Chain A
């Protein structure tokens, strides 16, 4: 917990510092007066830096006190692997969406995610993943005219069968 608290405070602090320098690029565009585009972000970033520093100080103080909840939990267990896999699946799904399209990709993503979350019943997985995809494609493209990603090449042709 302690390491995580310090790491998050550091990310917030240095991230804010970086963005503060980034916001300096907005200067010189204050055509509407004194409170230009950089004023509000700079104010917020200074607040973030101060607050993240204070949170880090609190975490160090808590550690010195030896509060039991601050015991370390650093082991890399199955949960972390599943978390990383879930993140990986999502990133891959969003990346492939443009190429493969919603209709062809979603059932596979759903099945993979269901397996990751511990589902074992194949009939359920297959039925729900195809059913949900069909329902969304119908509701969004036919009823509400939301253009779902179609993919490219052969996947585009495949998507055209449905919408």
Chain B
């Protein structure tokens, strides 16, 4: 084992490999921070280039892009209210609110530190207990996925803000929007009105971009104010002090554990991890009502979880050959171009390569700190531009970000539709976050319910009271009851 580690260290700590990791992180952070570009696209484009490299260099490069890209999305989420990557969708809730309060520098600082911590945690977990975790993850079935989705959806009750009923309407509306398109079980078109445009369903990225960015632009067009904004001054990322991070230690540890575990589950990626991380941050907070108003905990939760999911997603890939996310599915291509088949045999035949990848991801998460500082500095300069110039530019990036996902003009109209919805929701105090959570988790909730019930032969007891699912649901129910009892007066007053 020591020989393998020494070999891995020797492979990684050479100038060319280090350059690959640094370049990959920088590219990943940059791609992640531009709406419409993401790490999946970046890794896909880089695969042909890795053919000419050694397997270690090529896979180190791809892993570094993956790590950087997952963090990068938070930069534009915080600065412009437009998540650069799907994984940063939950960061918008508190990140942009902090920026509006003139705390963009602090928000960027929390995002980068928590991303690093989450990423490092998951890499350590991945290095030492990969095979064990992969085997446990495979015992997760539809009822467990359903329990996980329901647990995250219970967050809606905590995000009520001005009113629990309005928050629930928003959440249910999001869940309903997720049903549009071909039914994944029976192939029935649902709410497509005989047309082809909606057959592919509603992608949640245009919806998020629309609800947040376009909704805000419309509101700003209506209120057109020439007053100077709080963020017109120069912004440079302000890293939180150690004691500030230490204050959030349980939140970070919890989010890292959640992110790593969700990353390990096949088919459930960093985006879901970010929302569950946010949900749990709200649930366990002493001040849940402050979430969504711009607090560091609202950034720490999702950012730790989504970056922890990167290491988690590599576990089933490396140990079983099953990708845990879209980007890891692309990274399989990086193995295949070198004639390598990810899976248990790779650990036996190529241990040095495996541990080199672990080490490369560890380094990538550390280098991400520096790359993030640089890219955030460049992007934050744009915040100094007047809104009459910046607003239309944000709109164009939002439109291209929406269009670029599937190269489908329908996504532009979806973005616009959600922009109008977002405008009215804002105006009449309907919180937007529950709608997004519903939209993101809608498919997982419905499919795991229907498939799980079929597996259990439509016996609700058998479906719900499996050991793991039962425990997850029980925790969700207990924590909801606890939070309702604790917050009952405030919630009901507002309601």
- Tell me the smallest distance from the CB of A148 to a CB of chain B, in Å: 7
- CB neighbors of A among B429-476 (8 A): 430, 446, 449-450, 453-454, 458
Contact A45 B176, beta carbon cutoff 8 Å: yes
Chain A interface category by residue count: 35 or more
Chain A nearest CB from B131 CB (Å) reads 34
A132 engages B393 (CB within 8 Å): yes
Q: Verify B186–A31 contact, CB threshold 8 A.
A: yes
Taking the nearest CB of chain A, how far is it from the CB of B404, in angstroms?
Answer: 5
A34 at the interface (CB under 8 A from B): yes
How many angstroms between the C-alpha atoms of A88 and B420 in the bound complex? 12
Q: A41-B190, A47-B172, A98-B409 are in contact. Are A86 and B221 (CB under 8 A)?
A: yes
| B413→A94 contact, CB < 8 A | yes
Is there contact, CB below 8 Å, between A149 and B190? no
Encode contact with B along A40-82: 1 for CB under 8 Å, 0 otherwise.
1100110110011011001000000000000000000001101
**B392 to A113, Cβ gap below 8 A?**
yes
Is A8 engaged at the interface, CB distance under 8 Å to the other chain?
yes
Residues of B within 8 A of A80 (CB): 222
With a CB–CB cut-off of 8 A, which chain A residues contact B163? 55, 58
Kindly identify, within residues 381 to 417 of chain B, every residue whose CB is under 8 Å from any CB belonging to chain A: 386-389, 391-393, 395-397, 399-400, 403-404, 407, 409, 412-413, 416
Bound Cα distance A116, B221 (Å): 7
**Chain B residues, CB < 8 A from A31:** 186
Q: Are B420 and A117 in contact (CB under 8 A)?
A: no
Cβ proximity bits B332-374 to A, threshold 8 Å, 1 near / 0 not? 0000000000000000000000000000000000000000000
B177 CB to nearest chain A CB (Å): 10
A34, B458: Cβ atoms closer than 8 Å:
yes
Give the interface centre of B188, B423, B446 by most chain A CB atoms within 10 Å: B188
Contact A124 B188 (CB under 8 A): no
User: Is residue B486 contacting chain A, with contact meaning CB distance below 8 A?
Assistant: no
Bound together, the chains give a CA A33 to CA B412 distance in angstroms of 36
* B427 partner residues in chain A, CB cutoff 8 A: 4
* Given A37-B185, A44-B175, A47-B172, also A140-B36 (CB < 8 A): yes
Query: Please, which residue of chain A has its CB at the minimum distance from the CB of B453?
Result: A35
State which residues 151-196 of B face A: CB under 8 Å.
163, 165-166, 168-169, 172-173, 175-176, 179, 183, 185-186, 188, 190-191, 193
The A interface is mostly helix, strand or loop, or mixed, namely helix
Q: In the complex, what residues of A have CB within 8 A of residue B217's CB?
A: 86
Decide yes or no whether B14 CB sits under 8 A from chain A: no
Contact A86 B165 (CB under 8 A): no
Say whether B220 faces chain A, with CB atoms less than 8 Å apart.
yes
User: What separation, in Å, do the CA atoms of A98 and B403 have in the docked complex?
Assistant: 12
- Whether the Cβ atoms of A37 and B183 lie closer than 8 Å is yes
A51:B454 contact, CB within 8 angstroms: no
A30, B45: Cα distance in complex, Å: 41
1/0 contact string of A118-156 vs chain B (CB within 8 Å): 110000110011001100100110001111110000000
Measured CA separation A66–B143 after assembly (Å): 48
B400 & A37 in contact (Cβ 8 Å cutoff): no
Nearest chain B CB to A68's CB is how many angstroms away? 15
The residues of B that contact A97 with a CB separation of less than 8 Å are 409, 412
Given A94-B413, A128-B393, do A146 and B454 touch, yes or no (CB 8 Å)?
Answer: no
* Pairs A–B under 8 Å by Cβ, sample size 9: A8-B430, A34-B453, A44-B176, A47-B172, A58-B163, A79-B224, A90-B395, A97-B409, A139-B37
A32-B450, A34-B458, A140-B400 known; 16 new pairs, CB 8 Å cut-off, are A26-B188, A31-B186, A35-B458, A36-B186, A44-B179, A58-B163, A79-B222, A79-B223, A82-B221, A83-B221, A90-B419, A98-B409, A110-B392, A114-B392, A117-B388, A118-B388
